[in-house]
Structure 1
Amino acid sequence: MSSEEPAGRVVKIFITGQDPRSLRTVELDNWTGVAITGQPEFFKKALEAEVLSRSCVYLLIRSSADDDLPEIYVGESDDFSQRYLTGKFPIDFDSFLIFTSKDDALTRAHVKWLELELWSILKGNRGKVVVANTNKPTGSNLPRADIATMRTYLSNTIYVLEALGYDLFSVQERTSVSPSTKQTDAQPSEITGLRLDLYSMLPRRPDDHAFLRYENGAYTLLQDSKINAKVTESLPANVRKLRDQLIAEGDLVDHGDYLQLSRDIPFSKPSPASALVKGRSSTGYIDWMRKSDGVPLGAVLGMVAAGQALEDPAQ
């Protein structure tokens, strides 16, 4: 192995039952942290885990359709085994992840710091996820040494989430937290070195365009893209929430016949981005087209998978 080649990391997953969907514990090499994850039917069993009597930070995740965004609730507890005993959750969810420590290293102040950091990162990646928390976490004031330790814990948390297939973070966050990022179940679009510049037209306004860039495994809806001023009932619920947030915070500027984006927005998938642009349900692999020749994104990725064209011919 060359000195430039990443050594990789070991992620160990233990399934606690015969059913592969059962409660799982996830560990990472050289880390005292541990994650417990599963589907709602295994939540009660998770509360029985001795390790969850310690301080924890957790995510409740509700998945979405291909053209919508997932919803996440971020929380913390100093004794998770006593949390949600009544079954009253802040959101409906289809998976949960609880992060704690195999020893007593994590305190309530630590997990409150982690909760705020995760909330802030996910809030900043609003094109990838809708954060369900109604209030901003309070966080905590930690000594500088503790902050350094918690940044390492946060890095490992992000690494585990990405290794489990949760594409919630930006490329910069993903690559900055670990010397080697594991990519799991890569789709045809996730091919190293591929960059595509794409566009989509607004409904009934063929001269008004939005622009999407695919690069390094990520989609970015670019600043100055034009967005349909009108929406239909088919616009997915969480994309509608994103649109309302962007308008409220001044990131979507009203120009009468259209709205215009004032900054770049990262997305995990092309369809929520095109749904935002179109103001309705959308299939991104059809509605995004390569700028150089107008070929739909899905067809371009098909050619890439077949080894016919790796780069945009205009580049």
Structure 2
Amino acid sequence: MNPGRSIRLFLVDGQPNGLMTAEIMNWTGHVITGPRTKLKELVQRPECDRTGIYFLVGPDPDNSLRPLVYIGETDNVGTRLQQHNKPEDKGGKDFWERACVITSKDANLTKAHVKYLESLLIRDANEIGRCKLRNGTNHEYINLPESDKADMAFFAEQVRTVLPVLGFDFLRERPVPSGKNKKQAPSADAESPRFVAEVPKYGIKALGQEVNGDFFVFKGSSAREDWVGVDDGYQGLYHQLREDGVLVKGEGGLCRFATDYAFSSPSAAAAVVSGRSANGRVHWKDESTGQTYGEWQDQQVSQVTSEGEAEQEQ
């Protein structure tokens, strides 16, 4: 079990949709984020006069399921953000709706540090695949002493920790199912058991497992070749997975998963496998016991509740 973390959030103007700062105990980094409509107030902040990295985030018009992101570095964040606020034909960027600025409270981040950080984070964003980057080709920056590289690796780790708390999910690493070749008994503290989803009429069979809040469908699982349900959000996800090569042409008129893929919910996974909307709490069944996902989850909650009541009685 991972240790807990304390993150201090502060609403600068008292509004949840305004400027917000974030800090982590024992980390020299300082984060401030806000909507583009608050750019005037943002660039007046003292943090924006420092060397730092920044993220510009907006919707992807070609895919509503992921954001467009630009990752940059500069000696003066405020000046750079003003440049990005210009119209596209004058060297600015039109797509972004929110900005996130990361600097150091002790002002010890140098130009070399932030160039290295930018390189690390662009690489991470590409590998994780939760967003579409507006950056051009990433030039790996390696001109940094070994000790500084270690410091920046730690700094980047804190950035990856705090961003999802602020609603930016694109650097959140996808968990990896460690026990997909094992049949595990349900446990409140362990990974879930393996689940199977089948559509016998079409010969569809998929295997999955819940890991750290994501629901994985394993490589080699089959899925319907075409989307046959109504036009909803999962249809967009289905076609995006086809386009990205996660779902590829398989045998017997079906698709197959070319890699393990993490879905946000069992229902999203069940819909892609079935080619139509599906209730994942019912569709997925424990490979060993035949319990539905919903029954298994309810058992976990009931078990914890019973243990808590027993402890109170002692």
C-alpha change, 1:268 and 1:14, in structure 2 (3 Å) is: same
Structure with the bigger RCO (C-alpha within 8 Å, sep 6+) is 1
Aligned partner of residue 149 in structure 1, secondary structure: helix
Checking the alignment, whether the CA contact within 8 Å between 1:119 and 1:131 is kept in structure 2 is no
Checking the alignment, whether the CA contact within 8 Å between 1:23 and 1:42 is kept in structure 2 is yes
Is the aligned partner of 1:290 residue 2:286? yes
Cα separation, 2, equivalents of 1:302 and 1:41 = 44
Q: Counterpart in 2 of 1:81?
A: 78
Checking the alignment, whether the CA contact within 8 Å between 2:266 and 2:281 is kept in structure 1 is yes
Superposition map of 1:231-242 within 5 A? 231-232=227-228, 233-234=231-232, 235-242=234-241
Q: Counterpart in 1 of 2:215?
A: 219
C-alpha change, 1:5 and 1:90, in structure 2 (3 Å) is: closer
Q: CA RMSD in A?
A: 3.6
- Show structure 1 runs of 5+ residues with no match: 173-189, 311-315
Q: Counterpart in 2 of 1:313?
A: none
Deviation at 1:72, TM superposition (A): 4.7
Cα separation, 2, equivalents of 1:15 and 1:109 = 31
Q: Counterpart in 2 of 1:101?
A: 104
Checking the alignment, whether the CA contact within 8 Å between 1:55 and 1:77 is kept in structure 2 is yes
Q: Counterpart in 2 of 1:192?
A: 189
Is the aligned partner of 1:50 residue 2:40? no
Deviation at 1:225, TM superposition (A): 0.8
Letter in 1 for 2:139: T
Superposition map of 1:134-149 within 5 A? 135-143=136-144, 144-149=146-151
Checking the alignment, whether the CA contact within 8 Å between 2:249 and 2:255 is kept in structure 1 is yes
More helix by share: 2
Q: Counterpart in 1 of 2:157?
A: 155
Q: Return the index of the structure with the highest Cα Rg.
A: 2
Q: Counterpart in 2 of 1:12?
A: 8
Is the aligned partner of 1:118 residue 2:121? yes
Q: Counterpart in 2 of 1:246?
A: 245
Checking the alignment, whether the CA contact within 8 Å between 2:227 and 2:235 is kept in structure 1 is no
Checking the alignment, whether the CA contact within 8 Å between 2:282 and 2:293 is kept in structure 1 is yes
Deviation at 1:90, TM superposition (A): 5.7
Cα separation, 2, equivalents of 1:254 and 1:5 = 39
Aligned partner of residue 155 in structure 1, secondary structure: helix
Q: Counterpart in 2 of 1:169?
A: 173
Normalising by structure 1, we get a TM-score of: 0.72
Letter in 1 for 2:41: K
Cα separation, 1, equivalents of 2:131 and 2:269 = 14
> How big is each residue's C-alpha offset from its partner over 1:40-61, in whole Å with a ceiling of 9 and x where there is no partner?
5434432322212332132526
Cα separation, 2, equivalents of 1:134 and 1:76 = 8
Aligned residues: 279
C-alpha change, 1:42 and 1:279, in structure 2 (3 Å) is: farther
Among 17, 24, 34, the alignment partner of 1:28 is 24
Letter in 2 for 1:80: V
Cα separation, 2, equivalents of 1:275 and 1:261 = 14
C-alpha change, 1:56 and 1:308, in structure 2 (3 Å) is: closer
Is the aligned partner of 1:60 residue 2:87? no
Among 258, 262, 265, the alignment partner of 2:258 is 262
Aligned partner of residue 151 in structure 1, secondary structure: helix
Normalising by structure 2, we get a TM-score of: 0.72
> How big is each residue's C-alpha offset from its partner over 1:282-306, in whole Å with a ceiling of 9 and x where there is no partner?
5433433332344432343233223
Aligned partner of residue 8 in structure 2, secondary structure: strand
C-alpha change, 1:169 and 1:296, in structure 2 (3 Å) is: same
Deviation at 1:15, TM superposition (A): 1.3
Cα separation, 2, equivalents of 1:16 and 1:198 = 45
Cα separation, 2, equivalents of 1:276 and 1:262 = 14
Among 303, 307, 314, the alignment partner of 1:307 is 303
C-alpha change, 1:77 and 1:117, in structure 2 (3 Å) is: closer
Cα separation, 2, equivalents of 1:12 and 1:148 = 25
Q: Counterpart in 1 of 2:310?
A: none
Checking the alignment, whether the CA contact within 8 Å between 1:130 and 1:238 is kept in structure 2 is no
Is the aligned partner of 1:208 residue 2:204? yes
- Show structure 2 runs of 5+ residues with no match: 177-186, 307-314
Q: Counterpart in 2 of 1:177?
A: none
C-alpha change, 1:35 and 1:280, in structure 2 (3 Å) is: farther
Please say which of residues 256-265 and 299-308 is displaced more in the overlay.
299-308
Cα separation, 2, equivalents of 1:280 and 1:136 = 37
> How big is each residue's C-alpha offset from its partner over 1:220-247, in whole Å with a ceiling of 9 and x where there is no partner?
2211111221135444435533331126
Identity %: 23
Cα separation, 2, equivalents of 1:159 and 1:195 = 24
Please say which of residues 103-112 and 255-264 is displaced more in the overlay.
103-112
Letter in 2 for 1:145: S
